[in-house]
Structure 1
């Protein structure tokens, strides 16, 4: 299906950086004579923006309340704030983290959506269960290096509670100039105490496609990693795919781990390389149950095997691609269950510069499944080693012999991952743990006290991140390559 572009959003989340909303997506409508669901939504948005009104009788209660407060409240009130508050209240009653209202000032700060780079911590966030929640940190970003992970809930920003803040207010507090630091208090599933995470802001380049050829037992494996779906991602993907094919690859791994989403037209273009015209890439369903399906033009599949890689940070557009590859393409999906975001939003701009982003549709997989809050399940589940999930260490006082707790447990997990086996990982700092700490300190030219002070904790986290970044211990990628060739 081709033709006009409707301004519909699928991600419903924000990039924490100066670029503002990075994850806006557009969907293609068909070029037939009848109006598509998406064209209808766009037309509705135009009507709203043009000032289509509802009868005064229907808004009599609201009007009376507005006059009562503006004219008789004990103190003077800002009338614009009353109007904004009324709109915000209506949106809030939907209890939908992806439907949001931005007043003119906030909308202006988020209207530049596709810069080549931005300044911030480099993480996609959304609202879940009343908390600002990490969807995924960008690859090699300050957020990733600081240890933030998908589903982390931000409880406070620079010591101030996030309670009562909407998503946009929180993002404005988190983002900031390169070189400055934001202090985040994070609630993480499976951890009883909150974590203190300091993130040094930096310039975040928007480069979204990375490719390499991996040699495996005489086979050439193309590895294409997509970190987000920006406006140019599909073109970059096509160029790098073509370059890999010229190198006569024997198989391809499409990696969307940690990818929080982006423009859907990018997903549609990418999926067309691998999905034939026999099955839809994605389906869009309206509140009335009407469905519209989007197809590829391809008549045949690639002549090499393909595997997709996903994890808990794969959201929105990433899930659309993974589901299409799994259900319409019949390809294996390796990794862990994805994030679970299955709704579609439209952004409607008002005459005064304010904006409402409203959930208007569900998106469904090729087989008609709705993955919202469920995620896409891999055909082959593979988890990374334990040290990939190690939590940041916050040092208020040195950790030492005979101490217990989750911080000690994190230290033990890190030590084991770095090759300094403490002999246990239950959170008790015994003599073997002390010996392992001392060995790590000696190996890294630190004072060999056997205690974990701030310098030792920082070095552990740095070395662990280096080990993860090297890719040598990427069990999911290794499994994907094995699946390619039926090992």
Structure 2
């Protein structure tokens, strides 16, 4: 990874001989259980996309140890191709070898991307794809949700940061790579996917209808009760985000906004150059935005620079909302706004992703995405697995963590389960009297359900399934939106300061 953002360097690319040998190395790893560390040789020019998810940079690598004997690896490859019980497809071995090499590092952000996966990642960078709308990573036997994207099917279904996906359409993800799991989760707009979710010590199924995740990464409006306060929610960091944010600020100022609430809650990150441009909006030229550090390198300090990162500057009173779903590029922005622009952070601690990823083409149609360095906040703090703490900590209501109600199940009087306790908590949050909140669907629960059904023009049968379950979740979501304690704290801060 290069330090200087404008310096041109040569990118090291894999030669054909070494490409084949590298594949064989992973085959031997699988057989012998030995982990080998390899670097890339042979110079060629190649533009890359890096990710903090990311940064557009070039990459240097050291030459590999010329004493490595590749003969045993070639023999293993030959044996598998010629003597395995069934006929072996060489492309299958190669794809598996590439994936295995990346997976051997036990780094959730380092992975081999085949042609389809590479195209999918490029769609993400451009800001458009079809799926459920959630940033995910592999964690042990699960796929962990870093954050659902605002307004996405994943968010509407009630999925939360740190939920764990155990199964996709009944298929366990335990032995899948992150790319294999994502390929199953994604799909055409309008199609459905069933996920088995683990939240804490509880499991539940959720069926989500996939959709086209919108390109727009900035949404904004004036506060309904305080029209001099502008609200700007940044949902991702892709290529159009900088201009979208500038347009949003200018539009709100034109409409009378004098102070602003910026929001990166649930924002899983994106391109590093986008986070730098956004950070530059709030920081005076010459002050630090962040630092990056590659292997055996001293940290490089990125500073605000209108000539390189954009001329638009913002200096009105503002705050930034953060939470556990604010990751990567969101954390870079939070660090810059807090440490170099003295803008208060309100909410809860961020996710804690402090690494930078590069993507390099390799021979063939695939790419390798790998962790190339780490980033530090403006003052040099590495926030990896720690996150950034808010200046004003504000928790959301407890009912935000209530579980999704499975619309395919039927809950009725006499049932006893944890799902019933969750259902009663939802009814209680919506101000329906269920008596004691416990695990039993008793007569009081049934009467509460009938009251809910009557007020929502549903069949009054006292049974929760299908439409009743879906409507309960819709009303809970509306309640959460109406009682955003973190947003309310931001409004109060701006009015009092």
Q: 1:301–1:118: structure 2 CA closer, same or farther, 3 Å change rule?
A: closer
- Which residue of 298, 302, 310 corresponds with 1:290? 298
- Which residue of 139, 153, 159 corresponds with 1:128? 139
- Which residue of 355, 358, 361 corresponds with 1:343? 355
The separation in 2 between residues aligned to 1:389 and 1:320, in whole angstroms, is 27
Matched with 2:43 is none
* Deviation for aligned residue 1:434: 3.0
Matched, 1:65 2:76: yes
The separation in 2 between residues aligned to 1:105 and 1:398, in whole angstroms, is 39
Matched position secondary structure for 1:234: helix
| Alignment of structure 1 residues 330-479 onto 2, 5 Å | 330-394=342-406, 398-401=410-413, 403-468=415-480, 471-479=481-489
The separation in 2 between residues aligned to 1:323 and 1:379, in whole angstroms, is 12
Matched with 2:193 is 182
Contact 2:280 2:313 in 1 (8 A): no
* Deviation for aligned residue 1:117: 3.7
Contact 2:349 2:390 in 1 (8 A): yes
Matched position secondary structure for 2:447: helix
- Which residue of 194, 215, 219 corresponds with 1:210? 219
Contact 2:134 2:149 in 1 (8 A): yes
Matched with 1:485 is 495
Contact 2:125 2:270 in 1 (8 A): no
Q: 1:159–1:104: structure 2 CA closer, same or farther, 3 Å change rule?
A: same
Matched position secondary structure for 2:372: strand
Q: 1:201–1:484: structure 2 CA closer, same or farther, 3 Å change rule?
A: same
Matched, 1:26 2:55: yes
Matched with 2:34 is none
- Which residue of 288, 312, 316 corresponds with 2:328? 316
Matched with 1:237 is 245
- In structure 1, stretches of 5+ residues that fail to align are 13-24, 28-37
The separation in 1 between residues aligned to 2:410 and 2:82, in whole angstroms, is 60
* Deviation for aligned residue 1:122: 1.8
Contact 2:407 2:467 in 1 (8 A): no
Contact 1:260 1:317 in 2 (8 A): yes
The separation in 2 between residues aligned to 1:396 and 1:202, in whole angstroms, is 20
Contact 1:134 1:150 in 2 (8 A): yes
* Deviation for aligned residue 1:216: 5.0
Matched with 1:3 is 6
Matched, 1:225 2:254: no
- TM-score scaled to structure 2, two decimals? 0.83
The separation in 2 between residues aligned to 1:268 and 1:434, in whole angstroms, is 54
Contact 1:8 1:344 in 2 (8 A): no
Q: 1:179–1:282: structure 2 CA closer, same or farther, 3 Å change rule?
A: same
Task: Please tell me the root mean square deviation across aligned C-alpha atoms, in Å.
Answer: 2.7
Matched with 1:93 is 104
Matched with 1:15 is none
* Deviation for aligned residue 1:301: 8.3
| Alignment of structure 1 residues 98-113 onto 2, 5 Å | 98-104=109-115, 106-107=117-118, 110-113=121-124
| Alignment of structure 1 residues 118-157 onto 2, 5 Å | 118-157=129-168
Contact 2:141 2:173 in 1 (8 A): no
Q: 1:243–1:134: structure 2 CA closer, same or farther, 3 Å change rule?
A: same
* Deviation for aligned residue 1:366: 1.1
- TM-score scaled to structure 1, two decimals? 0.85
Matched position secondary structure for 1:372: coil
Contact 2:394 2:489 in 1 (8 A): yes
Deviations 1:115-173 (A, max 9, x none): 56432222222212342222222222211111221111111111111121111111111
Q: 1:481–1:315: structure 2 CA closer, same or farther, 3 Å change rule?
A: same
Deviations 1:70-100 (A, max 9, x none): 3443443223333333332222221000000
- In structure 2, stretches of 5+ residues that fail to align are 9-46
Matched with 2:262 is 254
* Deviation for aligned residue 1:403: 3.8
* Deviation for aligned residue 1:53: 7.2
* Deviation for aligned residue 1:105: 5.4
The separation in 2 between residues aligned to 1:213 and 1:75, in whole angstroms, is 65
* Deviation for aligned residue 1:56: 6.8
* Deviation for aligned residue 1:402: 5.1
Q: 1:92–1:482: structure 2 CA closer, same or farther, 3 Å change rule?
A: same
Matched with 1:30 is none
Contact 1:287 1:361 in 2 (8 A): yes
Contact 2:335 2:388 in 1 (8 A): yes
Q: 1:472–1:295: structure 2 CA closer, same or farther, 3 Å change rule?
A: same
Matched position secondary structure for 1:194: strand
The separation in 1 between residues aligned to 2:493 and 2:313, in whole angstroms, is 18
Matched, 1:193 2:234: no
- Which residue of 64, 74, 83 corresponds with 2:94? 83
Q: 1:284–1:160: structure 2 CA closer, same or farther, 3 Å change rule?
A: same
